[in-house]
Amino acid sequence: MFISYVLSKIRAYILYRETVRELALLSDRELADLGLARFDIVRVARQSAFA
């Protein structure tokens, strides 16, 4: 049980980092098209990975 918990946290962190990296590559205009500002990236990534 403990190992599966740790693995799920590792997977969530990897998903978080991938989301941050992908969103950071977008231009400000592309982010605006999605309804996001650059400072929203961390919040959105956190919500998608850990929700």
- Better-predicted residue by pLDDT, 32 or 51: 32
Average pLDDT over residues 8-14: 96
Distance from C-alpha of 46 to C-alpha of 20, rounded to nearest angstrom: 9
pLDDT digits (tens, 9 = 90+) for 36-51: 999 999 999 999 998 8
End-to-end Cα spacing for the chain = 20
Report d(CA 41, CA 4) in Å as an integer.
Answer: 28
pLDDT for 51 = 80
Please report, rounded to a whole number, the percentage of residues in the chain having pLDDT higher than 70. 100
Q: Residue 20 corresponds to which amino acid?
A: V
- For Cα atoms 13, 4, 50, give the angle at the middle one, nearest 5 degrees: 30
